[in-house]
A and B are shown apart, each in its own frame.
Chain A
Amino acid sequence: MTFVGLAVTFLGFVIALVSLGVTDSTTVRMGMVLVGIAVSLTGILGVITPAYQKTWIGKR
């Protein structure tokens, strides 16, 4: 799950980056960057962190 989480997190960055190439609209870019941030946060908080919680909590 760690690597899935890392991939999702990086995908968020890619979405934000691609916004530079697909449109000149500031509003659309803002929307895409916000989506990218949300995806990255999902990767960190929703995938990687729970995976590591299972690793540590209750075992220490």
Chain B
Amino acid sequence: MTKKIVLVFAMVSCLARAGALHAQAPATEAQPPATPAATAPTALPITAADLKAAVKPTDRANGDPDGSLTGTANDIAISDPAKGLTVTDVLNQIGANRIGVNFAWTLLCGFLIMFMQAGFAVVEAGLCRAKNANHTMMMNFMVYGVGMLAYFLIGFPLQMGGAGAIANLGGTPVLNSEFTIHLFGKDLGLFGNTGYLLMHHGTYDVAVMVVFLFQMVFMDTTTTIVTGTCCERWKYSAFMVSTMFLGAFTYPIFANWAWGGGWLAMLGANFGLGHGYADFAGSGVVHSVGGITALACALILGPRIGKYTRDGQPNAIPGHDIMWVLCGCFILAFGWFGFNPGSTLAMSGNGGLRAASVAVNTMLAGMTGSFGGILYMWIRYGKPDASMSGNAFLAGLVAITAPSGFVNPIASAVIGLVAGVLVCVSCEFVERVLKVDDPVGAISVHGSNGLWGVIATGLFADGKSNYGGSWNGVAGNVTGLFYGDAGQFVAQLMGVATLIGFVFVMSFVLNLFVDWFVGHRVSAKSELAGLDLPEMGAVAYPDFVLKPDVMGVA
């Protein structure tokens, strides 16, 4: 036991001698010699005696039931057997471990987010009528593939091609080409320009692969928001083309501006507005872009037949399976633990441990969101409406997505509570005032509350988060208006203005093209019959007898 302690002490001392924590050094490069600090302890080399103390393979002849013999100095990769274990080997192993932990965390969170597709699918299918269930599920099924193809071909390079080095993933120096324009005396990044097909310009790189997977599932979340709003009347071919545009252009452009080193992210460095537009996990980038695109599509598509009377009064068209709706909400909430905490891109270094706070903030906002929605509906209509409860739950999660990395638990609870009420008010506004037909409430859940999340970041960020000492190239921590930084609030408002004024226009114009060349809307005959047979060729529930009015023949 004493020998083991000596070995550990020797390794730690060697770390100090080498300048300590050059954890991101490439595994194949030797560490540069470092001058010991005046106060550093005396460095001790790794001696033969130290290595003799290490666990030998023969020690495990009888197994290792308590794990004490597994994961020792024997497991450190030796670069040169002739030299044996060196300090460089130890340091490289530490670096590899740190980046390996971060890779594992980010990838696993990406897998969780991918599973959110299932949640969206059942929520949307449950909220539509049985005669459209197959069509709605198929949109959610293919949005994954169509969106990913567009993102692989075009979207990823536009978004992340100029993102620069991402330290927590070992650096991605090959993502270094950002197209900029010179405006107001500064270079403003507009889109990236490398990483095509994940091969271009050296992007066949493990760290780039992690970035791609994680960003791809974010993009896919955006595209699946639109299918909910447009369900029950959207031509399948139009859906595919529209999704291609969203995955290839609309989402990546705004995501570049926010996360890829674009001009919004640089508002702090270039114009002194706080730390630039801060959107930790995508209230704006993912949810607002999806919700705003959903609004644009819904306007072009128009409401479902029977949704509004001739004098403009809305009719309720209930979904066919509330159990799937609420189950889907829990699947989504589960996936959100990949969405928000995963956005640290790390469990080791540069704010990785902050993931714990992010996860708790996410839970709290979901809880208060559902409370807010239930109480609002109970007070206003006398019953705690189930579908609105689910939407309020999601609204809380949407709203906390941007601030989750920057705010404290109390602020999270407040943000979620506001979101829960806001989604109910927004749904009523969209349906009764705007007269826009949104069968699942996605415009309100993701659009309205995404914007609220962006604004809330500028209000509630408490300056206590620390992701490597800076954010968006500005030293210090993100701090909102309530904690003294009005500039950060303006940066967030600039994000809102961009989402409403630019993203909406871009989405609308692209979908006008789709309408002109493909046609968004199915025929009235198909819509009345239900889209399962006319569009998909099969119904979702062939063994069930559907009510005549559900089938649209009454």
Chain A residues in the interface with B (C-beta under 8 A) = 2, 6, 9-17, 20-21, 24, 26-27, 29-30, 33-34, 36-37, 39-41, 43-45, 48-49, 52-53, 55-58, 60
Contacts and interface: CB of A to CB of B under 8 A. Distances in A.
Contacts of A9: 500-501, 504-505
Contacts of A41: 500
Interface stretch (B245-253, B363-371, B472-480, B488-496): B488-496
Given A6-B508, A60-B307, 5 more contacts: A9-B500, A11-B501, A16-B497, A40-B504, A57-B310
Given A21-B183, A37-B496, A56-B302, A26 B486 contact: yes
B486 A14 contact: no
B501 A13 contact: yes
Contacts of B299: 48-49, 52
Nearest to A35: B497
A40 B524 CA distance: 33
A34 B505 contact: no
Contact of A44 (B305, B435, B497, B504): B504
B271 interface: yes
B343 to A, nearest CB: 25
B302 A6 contact: no
24 contacts: A6-B509, A10-B505, A13-B498, A16-B493, A16-B497, A16-B498, A17-B497, A21-B185, A26-B273, A33-B490, A34-B493, A37-B496, A37-B497, A40-B500, A45-B434, A49-B299, A49-B434, A49-B435, A53-B312, A56-B302, A56-B435, A58-B311, A60-B306, A60-B307
A27 B497 contact: no
Given A21-B184, A60-B302, A30 B490 contact: yes
Contacts of B157: none
Given A9-B500, A36-B501, A52 B494 contact: no
B308 interface: yes
Query: B486, B494, B501: which has the most chain A beta carbons within 10 Å?
Result: B501
Given A6-B508, A33-B494, A57-B308, A44 B273 contact: no
Query: A14, A40, A55, A58: which has the most chain B beta carbons within 10 Å?
Result: A40
B184 A6 contact: no
| Closest CB pairs A-B (n = 6) | A13-B501, A16-B497, A56-B302, A21-B184, A40-B501, A40-B500
Contact of A10 (B185, B435, B501): B501
A29 B312 contact: no
Interface string B301-344: 01111111011100000000000000000000000000000000
A45 B501 CA distance: 12
A55 B298 CA distance: 13
A60 B306 CA distance: 7
A29 B272 CA distance: 11
Nearest to A31: B490
Given A37-B497, A56-B303, A29 B273 contact: yes
B436 interface: yes
Interface in B252-288: 267, 271-273
Interface residues of B, number: 41
A20 B85 CA distance: 56
A37 B500 contact: yes
B170 interface: no
A39 to B, nearest CB: 8
Secondary structure of the A contact surface, majority rule: helix
Given A6-B505, A29-B273, A33-B494, A58 B183 contact: no
B302 A12 contact: no
A33 B493 contact: yes
A12 B431 CA distance: 25
B488 to A, nearest CB: 10
B502 interface: yes
Contacts of B502: 10, 13
A11 B307 CA distance: 33
A48 to B, nearest CB: 6
A29 B505 CA distance: 23
B493 A20 contact: no
A37 B310 contact: no
B300 interface: yes
Contact of B493 (A10, A27, A30, A53): A30
B124 to A, nearest CB: 21
A39 B306 CA distance: 33
Contacts of A6: 505, 508-509
Nearest to B270: A20
Contact of A58 (B295, B312, B504, B512): B312
Given A33-B494, A52-B299, A58 B310 contact: yes
A22 to B, nearest CB: 9
Query: A12, A14, A41, A44: which has the most chain B beta carbons within 10 Å?
Result: A44
B490 A36 contact: no
Given A21-B183, A49-B434, A26 B497 contact: no
Contacts of A10: 501-502, 505
A12 B295 CA distance: 18
Nearest to B485: A26
Contacts of A49: 299, 434-436
Nearest to A44: B504
Query: B308, B311, B487, B489: which has the most chain A beta carbons within 10 Å?
Result: B308
Query: B185, B299, B308, B512: which has the most chain A beta carbons within 10 Å?
Result: B299
Nearest to B184: A21
Contacts of B434: 45, 49, 53
A9 B296 CA distance: 12
Contacts of A2: 512
